[in-house]
């Protein structure tokens, strides 16, 4: 169905794609693996018309095609769901689908016909999305479905899915795989970009690995082991298993939460009487299906969300007194693009957003940018941030390196508390391993670390203690070393287990 031959894409400081050849057969799911910066997104952006190739050829069903824009790609039957969704948040799901659709009698909109087709697609593929809800009221999982519905409306033949399960619960991921199998049974083809090796081995027919802009190899699913794939991805063996860590016997309360209650942005109850203590030298894992109060808990602790009742103390001080103190509180938010970075700022500007007004950077109200850049270079080296220089825009970095910028800024001051909310979302294997190491390092130096994730395997690998949230409540708590997957799963479904 698709052939890409000798694709080369150069940027001023890097070769993003170096003579890469890639093909997809009709009725096939072809997984694309590689670390952030390996060239996966660039290759797919070339295919989708977002980037122009410098050399190489693209064939669709045997016919050579020059894809100069997403419209040309769409006309050729190619559609893409980006890792960061392309939706208008204040418009409804149905209105988002209608954007860009050809109308039979312009400028009139066929709302009735579109609604009927929307409902037909939802029913056929077993999706659950309310067409009349504005996008901002949809869960991230529902927004993912909506992006796929948009492609099915256009009857695309080749779907490109960039980290499609990064925002899905295990149940939603299972539903996605069922839907994808249905799609290929209809003769469609799918490019599945992911870093999750277990998913690749479950869903893919073939697997192609890129590293440093080059093609490493393509394997059939039957001949690909997790060890082999991870080694191909990063050039070495990688482990995300539970790591040995020093036992810290003297732990003291750092964060004390009493009867915490709050509402979400829709005005609905998000947290119900949360009582919780975080201790120094401990990683507290927070497990649960996305949307059960984890985000609100993190934002209340960091002062970004006002509770309706209860109180939070950090080392005896109210949260409102410490949110600007980088020596007390560091926050790695779940969406680095929305709340973690200013994408149109440079790397060095993002690294000092919390401290540029402090000595030695501020001198009588003026910023010493020379000292700022020197400091940024030190952080870039210490946290191994892969960037050409400190003066490039942060939006030019890979996702993993963008996350390193956030982590460097938030932990450099050695805060007493580190709140990490979905910090590995959308990251590849090597970047996840690096982030795990950084969080364990924070724990080992005595910080109280909260690790919020929908990836149960990560929570169990990192945490000293685990709580599970459901519907704004804590269902139970257990020791991380001896945590039982079945018990955690039961609590994620709303079954309370007493300590």
Task: Tell me phi and psi for residue 2, to 5 degrees.
Answer: -125, 135
The pLDDT, as a whole number, for residue 51 is 86
Contact between 432 and 253 under an 8 Å Cβ cutoff? The reply is: no
Judge whether residue 434 has pLDDT over 90. no
Q: What pLDDT, on the 0 to 100 scale, is given for residue 64?
A: 93
* Distance from C-alpha of 419 to C-alpha of 315, rounded to nearest angstrom: 15
Tell me the pLDDT tens digit for each residue of 137-176: 887 778 888 999 999 888 899 999 988 887 676 667 888 8
* Count of CA atoms in the C-beta half-sphere (13 A) of 284: 26
Say yes or no: do domains 2-234 and 253-492 share a fold: yes
Q: How confident is the model at residue 365 (pLDDT cuts 50, 70, 90)?
A: confident
Q: Average pLDDT for residues 54-64, to the nearest whole number? A: 92
- Return the closest-CA partner of residue 1 out of 59, 40, 76, 53: 59
Which of 149, 36, 74 shows the shortest CA–CA distance to 400? 36
Choice between 386 and 139, residue whose per-residue pLDDT is larger: 386
Q: Are 259 and 275 in contact (CB under 8 A)?
A: yes
Report the pLDDT value the prediction gives residue 477, as an integer from 0 to 100: 92
What CA–CA distance (Å, rounded) separates 135 from 241?
37
Q: How many CB atoms neighbour CB 257 within 10 A?
A: 21
pLDDT level of residue 462 (50, 70, 90 thresholds)? very high
Q: Is the pLDDT of residue 340 over 60?
A: yes
Compute the distance between CA of residue 368 and CA of residue 389 in angstroms, rounded to an integer.
18
Sign for the CA dihedral angle at 290, 296, 297, 298 comes to positive
Token pair in block for residue 469: 């949230």
Question: Is 295 within 8 Å of 281 (Cβ atoms)?
Answer: no
Q: Is 396 left (phi over 0), alpha (psi -120 to 50) or beta?
A: alpha
Distance between CA atoms of residues 448 and 371, nearest Å: 30
Pairing of strands 55-60, 2-11: antiparallel
Q: Are 462 and 440 in contact (CB under 8 A)?
A: yes
Instruction: Band the pLDDT of 324: cuts 50, 70, 90.
Output: low
- CA-based nearest residue to 373, from 364, 387, 108: 387
Measured CA to CA, the distance from residue 358 to residue 248 in angstroms comes to 33
pLDDT of the residue at 220: 92
Q: What angle do CA 25, 234, 399 make, to 5 degrees?
A: 80
pTM score above 0.75: no
For 383-419, give the DSSP string. Answer: TT---S-TTSBGGGS-HHHHHHHHHHHHHTT--SEEE
Beta-bridge partners for 419:
331, 450
Q: The tokens 């459901």 sit on which residue?
A: 470
The 10 Å Cβ neighbour count of residue 351 is 28
19: left (phi over 0), alpha (psi -120 to 50) or beta: left
Q: Report pLDDT for 240.
A: 64
Instruction: Quickly count: other Cβ atoms within 10 Å of residue 389's Cβ.
Output: 13
Higher pLDDT, 497 or 184: 184
pLDDT of amino acid 189: 95
Could you tell me which CATH number the domain at 2-234 has? 3.40.50.300
78-87, 98-107, 263-272, 398-407: which has the minimum mean pLDDT?
98-107
Tally the residues of the chain: 499
Class of domain 253-492: alpha beta
Q: For position 368, what pLDDT does the model report?
A: 85
Candidate from 177-186, 219-228, 371-380 with smallest mean pLDDT:
219-228
User: What whole-number distance in Å separates Cα of residue 392 and Cα of residue 378?
Assistant: 16
What does the alpha-carbon distance between residue 229 and residue 494 come to, in Å, rounded to a whole number? Answer: 36
Mean pLDDT of the chain: 87
Domain ranges for the chain, please list them: 2-234, 253-492
Percent of the chain at pLDDT exceeding 70 = 94
| Alpha helices, H only, 235-304 | 294-301
3-state secondary structure of 488: helix
């Amino acid at each position: 169905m698709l052939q890409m031959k000798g694709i080369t894409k150069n940027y001023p400081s890097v070769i993003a794609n170096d003579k890469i050849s890639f093909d997809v057969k009709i009725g096939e799911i072809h997984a694309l693996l590689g670390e952030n910066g390996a060239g996966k997104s660039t290759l797919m952006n070339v295919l989708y018309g977002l980037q122009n190739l410098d050399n190489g050829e693209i064939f669709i069903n045997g016919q050579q095609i020059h894809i100069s824009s997403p419209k040309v790609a769409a006309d050729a039957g190619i559609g893409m769901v980006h890792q960061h969704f392309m939706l208008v948040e204040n418009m409804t799901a149905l209105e988002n689908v209608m954007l860009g659709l050809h109308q039979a009698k312009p400028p009139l909109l066929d709302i009735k016909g579109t609604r009927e087709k929307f409902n037909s697609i939802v029913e056929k593929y077993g999706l659950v999305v309310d067409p009349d809800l504005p996008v901002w009221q949809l869960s991230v999982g529902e927004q993912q479905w909506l992006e796929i519905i948009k492609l099915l409306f256009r009857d695309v033949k080749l779907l490109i899915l960039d980290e499609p399960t990064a925002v899905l619960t295990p149940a939603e991921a299972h539903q996605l795989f069922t839907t994808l199998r249905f799609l290929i049974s209809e003769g469609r083809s799918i490019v599945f970009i992911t870093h999750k090796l277990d998913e690749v081995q479950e869903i893919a027919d073939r697997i192609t690995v890129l590293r440093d802009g080059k093609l490493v190899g393509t394997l059939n699913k039957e001949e690909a082991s997790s060890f082999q794939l991870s080694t191909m991805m990063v050039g070495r063996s990688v482990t995300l298993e539970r790591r040995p860590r020093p036992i810290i016997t003297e732990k003291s309360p750092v964060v004390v939460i009493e009867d915490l209650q709050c509402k979400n942005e829709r005005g609905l109850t998000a947290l119900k009487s949360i009582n919780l203590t975080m201790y120094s030298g401990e990683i507290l894992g927070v497990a649960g299906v996305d949307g059960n109060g984890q985000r609100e808990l993190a934002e209340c602790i960091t002062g970004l969300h006002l509770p309706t009742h209860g109180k939070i103390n950090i080392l005896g001080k109210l949260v409102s007194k410490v949110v600007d103190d980088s020596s007390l509180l560091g926050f790695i938010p779940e969406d680095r693009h929305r709340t973690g970075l200013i994408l149109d700022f440079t790397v060095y500007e993002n690294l000092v957003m919390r401290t540029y007004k402090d000595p030695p950077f501020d001198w009588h109200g003026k910023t010493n940018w020379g000292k700022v850049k020197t400091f940024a270079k030190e952080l870039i080296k210490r946290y191994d941030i892969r960037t050409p220089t400190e003066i490039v825009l942060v939006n030019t970095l890979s996702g993993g390196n963008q996350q390193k910028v956030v982590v460097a800024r938030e932990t450099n001051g050695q805060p007493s508390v580190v709140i990490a909310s979905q910090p590995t979302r959308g990251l590849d294997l090597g970047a996840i391993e690096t982030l795990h190491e950084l969080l364990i390092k924070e724990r080992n130096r005595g910080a109280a670390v909260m690790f919020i994730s929908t990836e149960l395997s990560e929570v169990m690998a990192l945490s000293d203690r685990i709580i599970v949230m459901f519907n704004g409540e804590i269902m139970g708590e257990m020791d991380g070393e001896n945590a039982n997957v079945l018990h955690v799963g039961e609590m994620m479904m709303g079954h309370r287990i007493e300590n």
